Chains A and B, each alone.
Chain A
């Protein structure tokens, strides 16, 4: 790999070069000064690049080579479900009838798009066991906040205004407590027990008449199934609270246990995880929310209805929490997810979960003698190892993660969940072959051996990447967040 800097596009600029081909101006020219108020005509042009089309393509091709995606190699990033992103999805989302339609066109001219949305909702209802689904939220965290706002509206509609608290397990994703805060709740932590599951005694201690909801991922972020889910549901429902399902880990339970059947009242899904979004380098995602009957009136508006085979948006929803996003959600991502579900079918989705869980358990068993395994039981789609043993030898989990880069792998999620010391959270997904898993396992075992025999090679990793470890303190202390032309 080239170890040279890739220049910024701004550094490749040469005055007078262009990379565009605008439509011809076939109407009379005007003078802006005649039309705009004084002082509102831009004087100094935005200093954007001046480069040719080939310059652009070479630049971004060079950047792409400095980036690792699922198509580049194994990406066992726990909790992120980095499965293969099918190419048919990309083709379908680019069909002109999906990509080039306007959200405010007359409904009669977009019936095909509305039919797709409706059918996707129907599929997600069956998959989650919920009564209704909205596709409006843009991402998982956005779905969490949407769900909590509905729970808030539900309690308020019952005159139940004292419910100010949302309970969140200590192993939860960081978005859970943050979403609770943004929705105006105070979040309360419930502890995990020695088995890595929610401590029921602690749950009983923290619930009360001020409980608005419990947010739960099942399986949890340790990849363990919360066996006492029905007892937990009963505890929450008994005090009048609602049960919220964070669908980040749905890949572990499709066709095995539906959130609706487990007693959840609200569910969000991450279509960019389980349903092959793709992740896009950080987004766009899509975070539909499913609800049971109690919460139906509070869904964001509009909702999509079907009458006599005609699809329409219904805005007449007096108890709705309102809009959470302009228009109808990230339609382009929803098209991809729909295409995926239709490619898999019922038997396919079942196999997805079975193989994802089989892969994770296989890796866990092969790695457990080389690293500490804090919770020794069958996992679901992911598992968490601890680097405690290696830490005692002076090598941290961060070092081992960096060493994996030398083998061409994206490392697991590290230092999460917070209740595991030196944690490494590994999620292989179902689309990886046994050969890939074995090669990764071999690399992990080799690294464990290096920690004992030659720790420097791990501590100083990575050795083969285009850049070595970066000074994050410097980045934060003296932030440089944009390019400035050298004086």
Chain B
């Protein structure tokens, strides 16, 4: 058949069959038992031409409410941020996106160096000594941290704060089940991890304590107070962190974290209905040889030139097979590249400025809501999210916001029974004063 991706011509086919010494392509499939041989063609939609397919799919895309058209106040782990336009131009270089994992370093120096730079940027932001080349996403990264901790400490219990993203906690539990690790949840107190409860729960079988910073409710957990509790019990202090927030907050590495994980989605990666994003995984030097996934290291070639290679591969599945402590094979290289470009464009000043803008605009939202008579559920320090009590059900509120061109916040009641009629609102640097004011006004109208 003729297709723009298939260069085979009838003449080619004939010549190739002759070389092989057969009459038809069917002979190449004669070893498939008759009983299981699929006859005919799949019962799927017929092929469409390039232009009719793009037309159909652009209409399908147009059915969705996107954050370019609507002002989004929805966060909960995925955010509408400023994406420097240059990001998409770089990741569209097909030398990057059509390459495989850089197994042949001599013709993959570009990718390897880009990953090395990514590792450096994540180390800088988190204050950790080592960062890997990326993971699937923040949730699976946290789950892998749990497995690392259990393996390293030879302990079988993980304590995870209820202020950690509910979906990440779900993933931690799924992974733990495979490893027969117990997961217990540390209760909340005023929208923060309850430290008295943590002190009660932690024991000498605790492998890791998992804290999110800033937490799911946007509150800044006081890692300084948590760290000694964790280390006194000999557990690994595991922090899940929005890396953008670390432009303004003291990094977990400085505050004694053993493992810091998270998702680099805020740096140049589209929301994309939840994926692909870009998990990161950073550790202290002591845990270097326990890190899951790919690591790129610097070395030299035969002529003494600097070069980069995949390294410490003895940790990984393709070498250790059943002795491996993680089965991860791919990483999110292209999204790590996107994040690197965004972190480079923002740079030393811009990352800090963007983080502070998030705090500032969220603070403005908080003040405006308070002034309009709303109750902010939790006080204290916020990054770019706050929890607001609502009179009406959140679903109803969001429906009316949508009418006004806004995507409302996350209905906390969906994951926390006790927070019915509480909405988690995100305010990124993308939101203008005008949009925030309109949001507050509409909230008031629906509330009333």
Contact = CB atoms under 8 A, between A and B. Distances in A.
**A and B assemble together:** yes
B348 A48 contact: yes
Interface string A339-352: 10111111111111
Given A69-B97, A479-B288, A405 B331 contact: no
B334 A10 contact: no
A103 B271 contact: yes
B25 interface: yes
B136 A142 contact: yes
Contacts of A61: 93
Interface stretch (B171-179, B203-211, B440-448): B171-179
Contacts of B326: 178, 182
A100 B271 contact: yes
B343 interface: yes
B241 interface: no
Contacts of A376: none
Given A56-B345, A102-B67, A102-B273, A321 B174 contact: yes
B53 A339 contact: yes
Given A112-B63, A141-B330, A482-B131, A63 B113 contact: yes
B360 A104 contact: no
Contacts of B195: none
Contact of B33 (A106, A178, A229, A401): A229
B351 A8 contact: no
B390 to A, nearest CB: 15
Given A66-B113, A115-B63, A255-B38, 11 more contacts: A18-B349, A63-B111, A64-B96, A96-B61, A100-B272, A112-B63, A281-B102, A282-B100, A282-B334, A343-B47, A345-B46
Contacts of B399: 106
B300 A470 contact: yes
Task: Tell which of A45, A178, A347 has the most Cβ of chain B within 10 Å.
Answer: A178
B239 interface: no
Interface string A15-50: 001111111011111101001110111110111111
Interface in A308-332: 321-332
A40 B272 contact: no
Contacts of A359: 16
Interface stretch (A202-210, A256-264, A388-396): A256-264
B360 A475 contact: no
A92 B50 CA distance: 11
Contact of B359 (A32, A262, A358, A468): A32
B58 A95 contact: yes
A278 B97 contact: yes
A346 B109 contact: no
A422 interface: no
A346 B106 contact: no
Given A20-B345, A348-B3, A332 B270 contact: yes
A434 to B, nearest CB: 4
A284 B343 contact: no
Contacts of B131: 481-482
Given A36-B220, A49-B348, A358-B17, A57 B5 contact: no
B107 A410 contact: yes
B108 A106 contact: no
Counting chain A residues whose Cβ lies within 8 A of the other chain, the interface size class is 35 or more
Contacts of A262: 36
Nearest to B46: A345
A355 interface: yes
A85 B91 CA distance: 14
B327 A175 contact: yes
B120 A468 contact: no
Contacts of B300: 470-471, 474
A110 interface: yes
Contacts of A57: 86, 89-90
30 contacts: A5-B305, A9-B117, A10-B117, A20-B350, A25-B357, A27-B361, A50-B349, A60-B93, A88-B53, A92-B54, A97-B61, A99-B270, A106-B395, A127-B44, A177-B317, A183-B178, A255-B40, A255-B41, A258-B36, A278-B334, A282-B100, A283-B276, A283-B330, A284-B136, A322-B173, A327-B274, A343-B53, A410-B100, A467-B106, A482-B119
Contacts of B96: 64, 67, 69, 280-281
B336 to A, nearest CB: 8
Given A141-B329, A278-B97, A362 B20 contact: yes
Contacts of B65: 101, 105, 109-110
A70 interface: yes
A178 B138 CA distance: 21
Contact of B137 (A17, A152, A325, A469): A325
Interface stretch (A237-245, A425-433, A449-457): A425-433
Contacts of A442: none
- Enumerate the 4 nearest inter-chain pairs by beta-carbon distance, A residue then B residue, closest first: A327-B274, A345-B47, A97-B61, A112-B63
B347 A18 contact: yes
B324 A280 contact: no
Given A46-B348, A75-B100, A358-B16, A182 B178 contact: yes
A227 interface: yes
Given A282-B101, A339-B57, A482-B130, A475 B106 contact: no
Interface in B1-49: 1, 3, 5-8, 12-13, 15-17, 19-21, 25, 27-33, 35-38, 40-48
A353 B328 CA distance: 28
B335 interface: yes
Contacts of B138: 326
B273 A282 contact: no
A230 B36 contact: yes
